[in-house]
A and B are shown apart, each in its own frame.
Chain A
Amino acid sequence: MKNATLKICILLLLLQAAFQSNAQRAPLISLHLENAGFGDLVNAIESATPYHFYFDSAQTNEMLITLDVNNKPVTAVLTQLFGKSDWHFAIDDDMNILITRKQEIHSSLPVGFFDRSNETDSSDEMGYLDSLRDESEMQKLNASLENKLFTIGTPGAPLKKGKATIAGYIKDLRNGEPLVGATLSIDHPGIGVATDQFGYYSLTLPRGRYLLRISSVGMKDTKRQVILNSDGKLNIEMTDYVQSLKSVIVSSDKTSNVKGMQMGVERLNMKLIKQVPVVFGEADVLRTVLTLPGVTSAGEASTGINVRGGSSDQNLILFNGSTVYNPSHLFGFFTSFNPDVVKDVDLYKGSIPEKYGGRLSSVLDISTRDGNSKKFSGSGGIGPLTSRLTLEGPVFNDKTTFLVAGRTTYSDWILKAIPDQDYSNSTASFYDLNLNLKHEMNGKNTFYLTGYLSKDRFRYNGDTLYRYENANANMKWKHNFNNQFYGVFMAGYDRYVYSVVSTLNPINAFNLGYNINQGNFRADFYYSAGSSHTIDFGLATIYYKLNPGSYQPVGNQSLVTPTTLQSEQAEESAVYLGDKFNLSSKISLQGGVRFNIYNYLGPHDVYTYAAGQPLSAATLEDTVHYGTNAFIKTYMAPDFRFSGKYEISENASLKVSYNSLQEYLHLLTQTTSISPTDTWILSDPNIKPQRGDQYSLGYYQNLKSNTIETSVEVYYKDMYHYLDYKSGAQLVMNPHVETDVINTNGKSYGVEFLIKKPTGKLNGWISYTYSRALLKEDDPLAGQLVNNGNYYPADFDRPNNLNIIANYRFSHRFSISTNMVYSTGRPITLPVAVYYLAGSERVYYSERNQNRIPDYFRTDLSLNIEGNQKVRKFKHSSWTLGVYNLTARKNPYSVYFTEVNGVIKGYKLSIFGTAIPFITYNFKF
C-alpha cells in the first residue's frame, strides 16, 4: 500500500510536457486528499472544473489517494498522481479525461468499456456473471474481473493493523459446481491454501492489498486483486480451460505442487480421466488411478489396486464420504463409478491427512458433482457394453440442486459370443444409480444428501447365480461458524452384500450370503487461525455389523443344513487434531495426531486357544460367551502424521512426511484378483489389527515458468499383522477363521519419478517407479511358514513401472490420447518338481512367488472428437474411438501348470491378448 502511495506522489514532467497546451488554458484547482478513493478525486475535479472523467471503476477502485496540491492545472495534478505508475491519462478537446491502466489509449474504445454502470460494490461476482452466455464475453469479463479490485470487508475505511480472513467458494463458471482442490496463493508472503471437498477456502492474512492467484486442474488460471479490510467473503468462478485455447494459456501459477504441504497426493479430475483410453472406451476412475506412480495391480481384470506395496484391502475408497467395499462391476471389467457423476479423485498415498484413518495404504477420495446450479442439463453416453444417463439442475432456485444418474449394461451379447456353451448360457447384468442433492440454505449452512447403489448379477450356465451389491447413503451438513471456522457433520450408512445361489442339484441347493454394514458419524472442523496456523480437528465413529456367512437350503429337497455364522459387531472411533503451521515463508510444518479406539462388541462366542500353541482346532480350549454390547476386546492406538516443507526457491521445494495408521478390517482372499466373494472380517481377540508406518521424502521442482512439474519421492513402509492364508485354508463359512490365517509382516520401499505437463496443447505425464513389496511370515504360532519365514515378494511386487499418458489437442474438436504402460511381470509360484499321483501327473510347489511372468507392455490410443462447441447449442456431443492394446501384445496375466488328461502342461493366460477397438458416444445438454 505504501508503495502505491509513494508512486502516485512522484511528479513526472515528461507527461506534463506532452499535454502542455491543454494545461495552459485549463482552470487551476486545489486538492487536499488523504486516503481518498479515486471517486473522491473525480468528484472534486468534476465539480470544480468542466472536465469529465471516463474510467473503469473496477480498475480504479484500488487506488487510495493522498494528495496535497494548490492551484495547479488538472494535467499537473494527474501527472503528479500517476507519475511512474502504469496508469495513463489522456485529455481530449472536449475536456474529457480518459484514465487507463497499462494499455495505450486508443482513438476508439469498446462500447461500454468505460461505462460507469458496471460498477459493483458486491464482492460476490456470481450475480455479475449470470447473465453472460457468450464465450468471448466471458473471457473479456474474466479479464476485467482480474483487473477489478475487490474490497473485502468495510470499504474505504482506513486500514487497521492485524489480520483478517477472506473465505468463500471457488466454482466452475459454467455450471456452478464447486471446485475441489483449487489453490489460492499469494506471492508475498508465499502462502497457499487449497479448497476443501466443498470448494471452500479460508485464508487469513495481514490486512492489506494482495494479488490472489487461483489455479485448479483443468481450469484456466485466474487472479483476483483484493484489499483486505476486515473479514469478508469472496466467491470466485473459474472458466474451463478448453475455451481459453484461443488465447495463450498463462501457466505462471502452477506452483501448488511446490508450495502445497501435501506429498504423495495425486489428483485427477474427470476431464483428465476421460482422456485416458481404456478398454471399451468408458472413462474409468480406477484404471486411470492405476497409471499413477506408486499404484499397481495384480492384473488387468482386477479393480483391486495396490498402493505403494500395500494390499488391496488397505485402500479406503470413499465415494462422497461413503465407504465402498467393492468398486467393480462384472468381476472387475468396469469400475462401479459412473464417470459422468465423478468430479475428481484424490489419491492420498504419502502423507494421509489425520482426518482419515482405518486403512493402511491409501485413501482414494472420489467426489461427485452436486449438479448444475444454473440450468437443467443432462449428459450421457452410449458404449458397446454400457449406457448411462445423468440429469441435473437447480430445484426451485439455484440454492438447491439435484443430480441423478444411472448406468446399465447389455453385456450379454459378449457372453453369447463366447463359443463355450457354458458361457453362452450365462447372463450378466449390472447397474449403478446415484442421487445427489445439495441445498444451500444460506451463506452459513449447506446440506448435502448422497445416495449410491451398485448391483451386479451373474448367472452361470443357467444355474449358479452370483449377486453383489454396494449401497451407500449419507447426509452432510456444513456449517460456517465464521469466516475462519467451519464444521462438517456427516451421518451415513454403507453396506456391501453378496450371495451365491445354486439349485442345479436339488439335494445340495443352497443360498450363501454375506454382508457387511456400517453406520458412520463424523464431525470435522477446520479453523484457520491466522496466516501461520490452520487447524483441523474432529471425531469419527463407525459401527460395524457383519454377517460373515449364512448357508441356507433352497427348495424342499435340499438337505443343506442351515448354518449361520455369528454376527460380528465392532465400533471404531477416532478423535484427531492437526495443525498446519507456517514457520517462515520457506518452512511449513504439518502435524497431526489421531487417536483410535476399536472395540469388538458382543454378542459373540469367542474361542480361546492354548497359550503359546498354533491356533488350530486341536488347540481350541474354550468358548467364552459375551452378551450384547459387551466389550470383548479393545484396541487403542494413536496415529501420528507429520509433514514438513522447505521451499528452496520459488520453483523448488523439499518435503518430508511420516505416517502411522491402523486398520481393523481384513480382506480374506486366496486369489490374485479380488473376487466379489472375498470376505471382510473384523479384528477380534484372535486377529490383531493391521498397523503400518510410512516415511517419505520428496523433491519438487517446476520448470519453464511452472509449465512443467517434476518430482521425486522416496518412501519406506512397514506393515504388521497383515493376514495371509495357510495352505488349504477355508476362508468362507469358517467359524474360526483365525486358525486358517497367518500374521504376516511386510515392508515396501520405492522411488517415484514424475514429470508432468498439466496444460498446453500437449499435456500429460511420464512416471517411473522402482518399488519393492515384500512379505514375511514370522508368526511363532503359525506352524509351517511360507518360504520358511523369509521375505518373499508380494503378488503385486512389480519393481519397474513406466507410465506415459499424453494428450495432444489439435483443435477444439480433435484430440488424441495415448497411454503406454510398461512393468515388470508379477511374481508367480512355479513348481519345483513333478510326480504321478491319483491317475495323473501333478506338480509340487515349494517357495512362494520366486518366479515372474514375462514383462507387461501395452499401448492404448484414442481419438476424441468433440461436437460443435457453441454454448447455445442444445446438445453437445462427442465421440471417442480408440484401440486398447494397440500392439495386440499377448500380455500374460498368469503362467501356470495344470493337468490336462493326466498330463501336466504349462500355459500362459492373457486377458486382453488382442487389440480391442472401441467407440463410445457421449452427449450433454
Chain B
Amino acid sequence: MMIYDFKRKLIIYGVILAFFNCKQPYFPPVAKSNLSYLVVDGTILSGPDSTIINLSRTENVTDSAYSPNPETGATVSLAGVNNGTYPLTEITPGKYVIVGLTLSTSQQYHLKITRSNGETYQSDTLSVKYNPPIDSITYSVNNGAVHFFVSTHDPANNTRYYRWACQETWQYHSTSTSQLVYQNGNTITRTAAQRVYYCWNADQSTDILIGSSANLNQDVIYEDPILVDSVLISVYPPNIQLADPTANQKFTVEYSLLVNQFALTAGAFNYWQNLKQITEELGTIFSPEPSSELGGNMQCLTNPNEPVIGYVSACTEQNQRIYLNPSQIYGGTTPDPPLGCYTFLIVPDSINYYLSSSFVFTPLDSDVTTTGVFIGIIAAPAICGDCTMLGGSNQKPAWWPF
C-alpha cells in the first residue's frame, strides 16, 4: 500500500483557525471500562544489542497521572518455526530481555507469551527483515529549534518501511561549583563521586517516528524529520523558562543523539501510522475521527476475541549516534543559564538552619578572611549549585567519550 502523507500536514493546517480557536485542557467524563488488555511493546533485533519486550496492561482513563501497570511473571520466548527457542528474562517488572540474538533470515519466528495465570499469546509469523544502515543523522538550527533528520537507503529497494526511535543524552553543568557537601551536621569536602558540577541527562522520543519510500522509485529516505529540540537562542533575559525545562541544558556542554532504526513490514507500518493518527494527531479541524485502532500482530490463543495491543517486528539491528557541542548550535555564543542564580553567605550559627533541610540550598565553599579566619559558608540555591537538582545524574555513562 502506498503512503501519502500530505493529509497529515493538512491536519496541522486545520489549525489555521488558531487565530480564533482556543484549546483548553479539559477532561471529559469517561466511563470506567475496567478493560485490561495485554500491551506488547518491543522489537526483536538480530544483532549484538538487547532485544527488549515490555509487557504491561491497559488501565482506565482517569485524570490522574498514569502509573505503569507491568505484566510480571510471564514466560516470554522467541521460537523459530523450524527450530530454536530463545527465552527472554524479566530483568525489571514487565521488562523481558535477551541479549545478542542471532536470527536466521531463512526461517520465521513466533513471539510466545504465557501469562502467570496460564493465558497464552502468540505473534503472527515474523520474518527477520533486512535493515539497511543509517546513512546520516543531520540537523539544522532555525526558528529557535534544532531539527534532526535521518537519511537511509536500501540499494536492493526492499525495505521501504521504517520506524525510528531516538535516545538523547547530554552533559550539562550547574551554575556554581560546589566543593562542599553537608553531611550529618558537618560541611565536608566532596569526594570525586560526590561532585555535582557536571551531570548527564537522557530523554527518549515520545512520538511515533515512521517513514516510507513506498511511492519513490528508489528505496531512499532523505532527511526525514525525527526530532525537534527547542533551544534558548536569546541570551537575555536569563530567566526565560521554555516549556521543556531541560531544553536549556541540552546544548550547553555536550550532546549526543542515538537513533535506532527498525525495518517494518507494510502491515506494521499501517499499524503505526494509524496509531500515530489516533493518539498524536487529533485536535484540529481536519483531524480524522478516532476509530478503533488497527489490530496488531499478537493474538490471544486462549481467548481469540481478546484484543492484544502492539505490533512486534523483527529486523536486523541498526543505529547511529552523533555528538554535538554548543558551538555547533549557538555558533560561539553560549547562552546564559536559564535561572536567576545567586550566592549568599551563611554565618556559622545558621549553617544547620539553612543546610539541614535538604534540596533547598547547596554549600559551595567556605569563606575565610585574608587572614584565614572562617566567616561562613557561601551557598547557592540547590538548583544552582547541584546539577542533580535539574533532573540529571552525576554518574557519567560508561560509554560517554568525553
The residues of A with any CB-CB pair to B shorter than 8 Å are: 299, 301-302, 330-333, 414-415, 417-418, 420-423, 426, 428, 458, 460, 464, 466, 500, 502, 505-508, 510, 512, 551, 559-561, 563, 617, 670-673, 675, 677, 727-728, 730, 732-734, 784, 786, 795, 829-848, 851, 853, 890, 892-899, 901-914, 916
Report whether over half of chain B's contact residues are helix, strand or loop; otherwise say mixed.
loop
Does B282 interact with chain A (Cβ within 8 Å)?
yes
Does B17 interact with chain A (Cβ within 8 Å)?
yes
Interface residues of B in 272-293 (CB under 8 A from A): 272-275, 278-293
Could you say which of B26-34, B186-194, B353-361, B388-396 contacts chain A? B26-34
Q: Is the CB of B216 within 8 A of A907?
A: no
Name 24 interchain pairs, CB-CB below 8 A, sorted by A.
Answer: A330-B16, A331-B286, A333-B17, A420-B18, A502-B6, A506-B222, A508-B216, A675-B10, A786-B291, A795-B289, A833-B61, A834-B62, A835-B56, A836-B66, A839-B204, A851-B28, A895-B26, A897-B279, A898-B279, A898-B283, A909-B283, A910-B22, A911-B20, A913-B21
* Across-interface contacts of A728 in B (CB, < 8 A): 270-271, 273-274, 293-294
Does B106 interact with chain A (Cβ within 8 Å)?
no
In the assembled complex, the Cα of A271 lies from the Cα of B60 at a distance in Å of 54
In the assembled complex, the Cα of A845 lies from the Cα of B220 at a distance in Å of 34
Does B349 interact with chain A (Cβ within 8 Å)?
no
In the assembled complex, the Cα of A733 lies from the Cα of B29 at a distance in Å of 38
Q: Is the CB of B287 within 8 A of A832?
A: no
Q: Is the CB of B18 within 8 A of A421?
A: no
Whether A673 touches B286, Cβ cut-off 8 Å, given contacts A908-B23, A912-B20, is yes
Q: How far is the CB of B140 from chain A (nearest CB, A)?
A: 12
Q: A844-B37, A893-B285, A912-B21 are in contact. List 7 more A-B contacts (CB 8 A).
A: A415-B16, A426-B16, A563-B2, A677-B7, A727-B294, A833-B35, A910-B22
Identify the closest chain A residue to B70 (Cβ).
Answer: A836
Identify the closest chain A residue to B143 (Cβ).
Answer: A421
Whether A907 touches B18, Cβ cut-off 8 Å, given contacts A502-B6, A559-B218, is no
A907 CB contact (under 8 Å) in B6, B39, B283: B283
* Across-interface contacts of A421 in B (CB, < 8 A): 143
* Across-interface contacts of B22 in A (CB, < 8 A): 890, 909-910, 913-914
Q: Is the CB of B223 within 8 A of A505?
A: yes
In the assembled complex, the Cα of A893 lies from the Cα of B6 at a distance in Å of 23
* Across-interface contacts of B20 in A (CB, < 8 A): 911-914, 916
Q: Is the CB of A500 within 8 A of B6?
A: yes
Q: Per-residue 0/1 for B20-63: is the Cβ within 8 Å of any A Cβ (1 yes, 0 no)?
A: 11111111111101010101010000000000001011111111
A732 CB contact (under 8 Å) in B4, B271, B279: B4
Whether A831 touches B18, Cβ cut-off 8 Å, given contacts A671-B288, A841-B66, A842-B279, is no
B39 CB contact (under 8 Å) in A508, A670, A836: A836
In the assembled complex, the Cα of A841 lies from the Cα of B65 at a distance in Å of 10
Q: Is the CB of A505 within 8 A of B290?
A: no
Does B324 interact with chain A (Cβ within 8 Å)?
no
* Across-interface contacts of B223 in A (CB, < 8 A): 505, 507
Q: Is the CB of A561 within 8 A of B217?
A: yes
In the assembled complex, the Cα of A561 lies from the Cα of B3 at a distance in Å of 12
A423 CB contact (under 8 Å) in B4, B18, B204, B286: B18
Interface residue tally on B, bucketed by range: 35 or more
* Across-interface contacts of B66 in A (CB, < 8 A): 834, 836, 841, 903-904
* Across-interface contacts of A912 in B (CB, < 8 A): 20-21
* Across-interface contacts of A301 in B (CB, < 8 A): 14, 17, 285
Q: Is the CB of B21 within 8 A of A911?
A: yes
For chains A and B in complex, what number of residue pairs have CB atoms within 8 angstroms?
A: 279
In the assembled complex, the Cα of A508 lies from the Cα of B151 at a distance in Å of 12
Q: How far is the CB of A785 from chain B (nearest CB, A)?
A: 10
Q: How far is the CB of A776 from chain B (nearest CB, A)?
A: 16
In the assembled complex, the Cα of A728 lies from the Cα of B295 at a distance in Å of 10
Q: How far is the CB of B133 from chain A (nearest CB, A)?
A: 18
Q: Is the CB of B59 within 8 A of A835?
A: yes
- 4 closest A-B pairs (Cβ-Cβ)? A908-B26, A902-B206, A507-B222, A833-B58
Q: How far is the CB of B387 from chain A (nearest CB, A)?
A: 22
A507 CB contact (under 8 Å) in B206, B220, B289: B220
* Across-interface contacts of B4 in A (CB, < 8 A): 512, 551, 730, 732-733
Q: How far is the CB of B4 from chain A (nearest CB, A)?
A: 5
A906 CB contact (under 8 Å) in B25, B216, B274, B287: B25
A899 CB contact (under 8 Å) in B13, B62, B280: B280
Identify the closest chain B residue to A506 (Cβ).
Answer: B222
In the assembled complex, the Cα of A840 lies from the Cα of B3 at a distance in Å of 24
Whether A727 touches B293, Cβ cut-off 8 Å, given contacts A559-B220, A833-B35, is yes
A848 CB contact (under 8 Å) in B17, B19, B292: B292
Q: Is the CB of A840 within 8 A of B61?
A: no
Q: Is the CB of B285 within 8 A of A331?
A: yes
Q: Is the CB of A830 within 8 A of B30?
A: yes
* Across-interface contacts of B21 in A (CB, < 8 A): 893, 909-913
Identify the closest chain B residue to A301 (Cβ).
Answer: B285
Most buried by B among A420, A505, A508: A508
Q: Is the CB of A898 within 8 A of B68?
A: no
Does B309 interact with chain A (Cβ within 8 Å)?
yes
In the assembled complex, the Cα of A852 lies from the Cα of B57 at a distance in Å of 27
In the assembled complex, the Cα of A302 lies from the Cα of B220 at a distance in Å of 38
Q: How far is the CB of A853 from chain B (nearest CB, A)?
A: 8
Q: Is the CB of B206 within 8 A of A839?
A: yes
Does B352 interact with chain A (Cβ within 8 Å)?
no
Does B385 interact with chain A (Cβ within 8 Å)?
no
Does B310 interact with chain A (Cβ within 8 Å)?
yes
Identify the closest chain A residue to B1 (Cβ).
Answer: A730
Does B258 interact with chain A (Cβ within 8 Å)?
no
Q: Is the CB of A460 within 8 A of B26?
A: no
Q: Is the CB of B289 within 8 A of A844?
A: no
Q: How far is the CB of A506 from chain B (nearest CB, A)?
A: 8
In the assembled complex, the Cα of A474 lies from the Cα of B57 at a distance in Å of 62
* Across-interface contacts of A500 in B (CB, < 8 A): 6, 10
* Across-interface contacts of A905 in B (CB, < 8 A): 25
* Across-interface contacts of B62 in A (CB, < 8 A): 834
Q: Is the CB of A907 within 8 A of B23?
A: yes
Q: Is the CB of A845 within 8 A of B68?
A: no
* Across-interface contacts of B18 in A (CB, < 8 A): 418, 420, 423
In the assembled complex, the Cα of A238 lies from the Cα of B65 at a distance in Å of 69
Q: How far is the CB of A553 from chain B (nearest CB, A)?
A: 8
Q: Is the CB of B310 within 8 A of A561?
A: no
Q: Is the CB of B217 within 8 A of A896?
A: no
* Across-interface contacts of B288 in A (CB, < 8 A): 670-671
In the assembled complex, the Cα of A502 lies from the Cα of B8 at a distance in Å of 13
A911 CB contact (under 8 Å) in B17, B291, B295: B17
Q: Is the CB of B58 within 8 A of A834?
A: yes
Q: Per-residue 0/1 for B116-128: is the Cβ within 8 Å of any A Cβ (1 yes, 0 no)?
A: 0000000000000
Most buried by A among B28, B215, B216: B28
Q: Is the CB of B206 within 8 A of A896?
A: no
A727 CB contact (under 8 Å) in B61, B292, B310: B292
Interface residues of B in 198-226 (CB under 8 A from A): 204-208, 213, 215-218, 220, 222-223
Q: Is the CB of A834 within 8 A of B61?
A: yes
Does B165 interact with chain A (Cβ within 8 Å)?
yes
* Across-interface contacts of B28 in A (CB, < 8 A): 830, 851, 853, 895, 906, 908
Q: How far is the CB of A886 from chain B (nearest CB, A)?
A: 15
Q: Is the CB of A907 within 8 A of B26?
A: yes
In the assembled complex, the Cα of A904 lies from the Cα of B28 at a distance in Å of 13
Q: Is the CB of B289 within 8 A of A829?
A: yes
In the assembled complex, the Cα of A719 lies from the Cα of B369 at a distance in Å of 92
Identify the closest chain B residue to A730 (Cβ).
Answer: B1
